């Protein structure tokens, strides 16, 4: 790993908050999955901006869409409509397969979840059930939903009436949910907790439970969405429909964009003046989103993601020290047999591969959907090599 120049460290300390610490790599350019740092060292980006750069860096379709749009019409606020926003909303509606779907655009996953939280108040109820380990954002409402105590503790008091139950535990959900509950919010796969998949049937049972008590079911698809798991949103394998979908990350093709989508005629809707955001669904980000969806469809990248999932699971599971490989499509968590994930991530970066250690025992990868078989195989070889280097095996 190339060390960050002293001047970069000094500049960071002089002008930036330290909430991220000081990054160890200073990236200056990228093309596809290849990124280059300020020392001209190249890496294969297997984190993808944390599942955001769905088509990698500088994809021609994104570059063309953004360049064309910014030359035609930039920011207009939400006092006015614009063609790319309407087209993207229509496309998202088609992707849900439900013509009752209605879209609210924002800029991030936290904002999308804040919108869902606010919408749940229109049920007349305030109680919410979320899951332990979940990550829904860092703004105060989204943080209240997040089930990670280390992120919550410094900022108490948070919103009241939110109960967290273990992810994947249906009996715990049955105890927590009642007719007084406004909404249940879950990730189809826990991303920040280490790419944890629930038991088969979990999402379908949640649907049944929420129907029983008249409760909104919200799927936070911020990490699982945009084809990353081999389906558009990440819950389709259970053949269920939520009442609300929240999206961000990959939807903008690398630009800031989020969305909250309501489904069903009985799901509450915002009335004029009840909610809004200045930049949400702006023409440039919407154009990028449309271009990303078009490429994913045209190149059948969701089917490819499923194929690469199988290859990664088979090959990496066979590497000594790997306890489990979990996830769907190209959202993969590699569980290790010890607490050395951060050291392993650093070694992989030294060897030219960018990954993430969301906890001490897990490596998370979320490469762009345009990743090639050759790049997948290079990663597998590099992972095995780094494992030996870190564990002296």
What would the two tokens of residue 291 be?
A: 């271009």
What would the two tokens of residue 85 be?
A: 């926003």
- What tens digit of pLDDT does each residue of 79-105 get? 999 999 999 999 999 999 999 999 999
Q: Which residues pair with 335 in a beta bridge?
A: 324, 362
- What tens digit of pLDDT does each residue of 145-173 get? 999 999 999 999 999 999 999 999 999 99
Greater confidence (227 vs 2) lies with 227
d(CA 107, CA 40): 32
Average pLDDT over residues 298-315: 98
H helices within the chain, ranges in order?
6-15, 48-51, 60-72, 83-96, 109-120, 140-145, 149-152, 170-176, 202-213, 283-298, 301-317, 341-350, 373-391
pLDDT at position 5: 62
Residues in contact with 307: Cβ distance below 8 Å, sequence separation at least 6, in sequence order: none
**CB of 197 closer than 8 Å to CB of 189:** yes
> Given pLDDT bands bounded at 50, 70 and 90, which one contains residue 253?
very high
The share of the chain scoring above pLDDT 90, in percent, equals 96
Average pLDDT over residues 301-321: 98
**CB of 219 closer than 8 Å to CB of 63:** no
> One of 45, 167, 219, 249 is an active-site residue; which one?
249
Widest pairwise Cα distance in the chain? 62
> One of 104, 135, 233, 353 is an active-site residue; which one?
135
pLDDT at position 263: 98
Place of tokens 């009241």: 160
For this structure, is 377 an active site residue?
no
> Given pLDDT bands bounded at 50, 70 and 90, which one contains residue 260?
very high
**CB of 230 closer than 8 Å to CB of 300:** no
| H or E segment to which residue 77 belongs | none
Helix (H, G, I), strand (E, B) or coil at 388: helix
pLDDT at 2 over 80: no
The share of the chain scoring above pLDDT 70, in percent, equals 98
Helix (H, G, I), strand (E, B) or coil at 62: helix
**CB of 247 closer than 8 Å to CB of 112:** yes
Residues in contact with 19: Cβ distance below 8 Å, sequence separation at least 6, in sequence order: none
Q: Which residues pair with 218 in a beta bridge?
A: 185, 244
Residue 139 phi/psi, 5-degree rounding, is: -70, 165
Average pLDDT over residues 175-180: 98
d(CA 382, CA 393): 14
Q: How far is CA 371 from CA 20, 75, 218, 308, 357, in A?
A: 28, 32, 30, 9, 20
Average pLDDT over residues 129-147: 98
Place of tokens 């007349």: 124
Give the angle subtended at the CA of 196 by the CAs of 193 and 202, to the nearest 5°. Answer: 125
Mean pLDDT of the chain: 96
Average pLDDT over residues 13-32: 94
> Given pLDDT bands bounded at 50, 70 and 90, which one contains residue 134?
very high
d(CA 190, CA 135): 8
pLDDT at 138 over 60: yes
pLDDT at position 108: 98
> One of 37, 45, 220, 243 is an active-site residue; which one?
220
H helices within 97-161, ranges in order?
109-120, 140-145, 149-152
pLDDT at position 8: 76
pLDDT at 4 over 60: no
For this structure, is 298 an active site residue?
no
Q: How far is CA 182 from CA 91, 192, 236, 242, 246, in A?
A: 29, 25, 23, 14, 16
What would the two tokens of residue 329 be?
A: 């499509």
Average pLDDT over residues 115-126: 98
Domains of the chain: 61-298 (3.40.640.10), 300-393 (3.90.1150.10)
Closest by CA position to 238, among listed 205, 204, 188:
204
d(CA 345, CA 391): 13
> Given pLDDT bands bounded at 50, 70 and 90, which one contains residue 11?
confident
What would the two tokens of residue 59 be?
A: 């994809």
For this structure, is 135 an active site residue?
yes
pLDDT at position 10: 76
Q: Which residues pair with 327 in a beta bridge?
A: 332
Q: How far is CA 152 from the centre of its chain?
A: 20
d(CA 211, CA 175): 15
pLDDT at 1 over 70: no
> Given pLDDT bands bounded at 50, 70 and 90, which one contains residue 6?
low
């Amino acid at each position: 790993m190339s060390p960050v120049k002293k001047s970069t460290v000094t500049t960071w300390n002089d002008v930036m908050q330290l909430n991220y610490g000081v990054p160890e790599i200073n990236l200056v350019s990228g093309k596809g999955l290849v990124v280059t740092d300020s020392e001209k060292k190249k890496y294969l980006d297997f984190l993808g901006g944390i599942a955001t750069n769905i088509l990698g860096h500088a994809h021609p379709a994104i570059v063309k869409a953004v360049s064309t749009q910014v030359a035609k019409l930039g920011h207009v606020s939400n006092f006015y409509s614009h063609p790319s926003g309407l087209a993207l909303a229509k496309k998202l509606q088609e992707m849900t397969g439900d013509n009752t779907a209605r879209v609210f655009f924002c800029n991030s996953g936290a904002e999308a979840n804040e919108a869902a939280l606010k919408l749940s108040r229109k049920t007349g109820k305030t109680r919410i059930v979320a899951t332990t380990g979940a990550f829904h954002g860092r703004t105060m409402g989204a943080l209240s939903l997040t089930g990670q105590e280390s992120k919550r503790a410094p900022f108490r008091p948070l919103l009241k009436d939110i109960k967290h139950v273990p992810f994947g535990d249906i009996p715990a959900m049955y105890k927590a949910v009642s007719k007084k509950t406004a909404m249940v919010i879950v990730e189809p796969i826990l991303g920040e907790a280490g790419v944890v998949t629930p038991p088969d049937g979990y999402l379908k049972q949640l649907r049944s439970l929420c129907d029983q008590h008249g409760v909104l079911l919200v799927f936070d698809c911020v990490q699982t969405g945009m084809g990353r798991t081999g389906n558009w949103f990440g819950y389709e394998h259970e053949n269920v429909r939520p009442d609300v979908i929240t999206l961000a990350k990959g939807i903008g093709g690398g630009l800031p964009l989020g969305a909250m989508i309501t489904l069903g005629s009985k799901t509450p809707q915002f009335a004029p003046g009840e909610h809004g955001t200045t930049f949400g669904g702006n023409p440039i980000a919407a154009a990028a989103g449309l271009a990303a969806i078009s490429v994913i469809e045209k190149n059948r990248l969701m089917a490819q993601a499923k194929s690469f999932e199988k290859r990664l699971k088979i090959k990496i599971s066979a590497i000594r020290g790997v306890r489990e490989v979990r996830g769907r499509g190209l959202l993969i968590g590699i569980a290790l047999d010890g607490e050395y994930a951060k050291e392993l991530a650093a070694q992989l970066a030294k060897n030219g591969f960018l990954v993430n250690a969301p906890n001490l025992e897990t490596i998370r990868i979320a490469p762009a959907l345009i990743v090639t078989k050759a790049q997948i195989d290079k990663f597998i070889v590099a992972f095995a090599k780094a494992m030996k280097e870190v564990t002296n095996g």
